[in-house]
Amino acid sequence: MQASAPDVAHDTGARIAIDTLRQFETPEGIEIALRLAGPVPRAAAFVIDVLIRIGLYLVLLQLLNLAGVGMGLLLLALFALEWLYPVFFELRSGATPGKRAMGLVVVHADGTPVGASASLLRNLLRAVDFLPVLYGFGLVAMLVDRDFRRLGDLAAGTLVIHRDTAVMAPALPARPPLAPPGPLDVDTQQAILAFAERGGALSPARQAELAALAGLSVPGSADPAATLLGIANWISRGKSD
Task: Specify the pLDDT at position 1.
Answer: 43
Please provide the DSSP assignment of the chain as one string: -PPPHHHHHHHHHHHHHH--EEEEE-TTS-EEEEEB--HHHHHHHHHHHHHHHHHHHHHHGGGGGSTTTHHHHHHHHHHHHHHHHHHHHHHHHSS-HHHHHTTEEEEETTSPBP-HHHHHHHHHTHHHHTTTTTTHHHHHHHHHSTT---HHHHHHTEEEEE-PPPPPPPPPPP------SS---HHHHHHHHHHHHHGGGS-HHHHHHHHHHHT--BTTB--HHHHHHHHHHHHHTT---
Each residue's pLDDT, cut to its tens digit, for the chain (241 residues) gives: 444 444 434 444 433 334 577 877 655 556 677 899 999 999 999 999 999 999 999 998 888 888 778 888 889 989 989 889 999 999 999 999 999 999 999 999 888 899 999 999 999 999 999 999 888 999 999 999 999 999 999 999 999 999 875 545 566 777 778 888 888 888 888 888 888 877 777 788 888 888 788 777 777 667 888 888 888 888 877 654 4
Task: Specify the pLDDT at position 220.
Answer: 65
Task: Specify the pLDDT at position 67.
Answer: 76
